[in-house]
Amino acid sequence: MNFRLQSVHINQIGTNTEGEFVWVEDSVPPEWGEKELHWFSEIVPQRRLLDWYALTPDRWYEFARLFRLQLREQTSKCERLRQMAQKSQLNLVYQQGTLKQNIATVLEGFVIELECQRRWESGLMIGGYTKPVREQILALGGLWFTKHKTWMMPDESSWKAIVDLLPGDF
Residue 22, number of CB atoms within 10 A of its CB? 23
Is residue 57 predicted with pLDDT exceeding 60? yes
d(CA 114, CA 146): 12
In a shared domain, residues 29 and 99: yes
Q: Give the domain-ending residue among 81, 96, 118.
A: 118
Tens digits of residue pLDDT in 2-31:
899 999 998 888 765 688 999 999 877 767
**Same domain for 25 and 65?**
yes
Are 129 and 155 in a shared domain? Answer: yes
Q: Both 76 and 137 in a single domain? A: no
Q: Are residues 113 and 138 in the same domain?
A: no
Nearest-angstrom CA–CA distance, 83 and 46: 24
Write out the residue range of the structural domain in which residue 58 sits: 5-118
Q: Say yes or no: 96 and 23 in one domain.
A: yes
Q: What pLDDT does residue 34 have?
A: 53
Same domain as 127, residue 108: no
Q: How many domains does the chain have?
A: 2
Look at residue 93 and tell me whether its pLDDT is greater than 60: yes
Residues facing 90 on adjacent strands: 5, 20
**Residue 18 shares a structural domain with residue 91:** yes
Regarding whether 36 and 100 lie in a shared domain, the answer is yes
Whether 64 and 113 map to the same domain: the answer is yes
Query: Do 61 and 98 belong together in one domain?
Result: yes
Q: Where would I find the H helices in 58-142?
A: 60-72, 75-87, 103-121, 134-139
Asked whether the predicted pLDDT for residue 1 surpasses 70, the reply is no
163 plus 138 within the same structural domain = yes
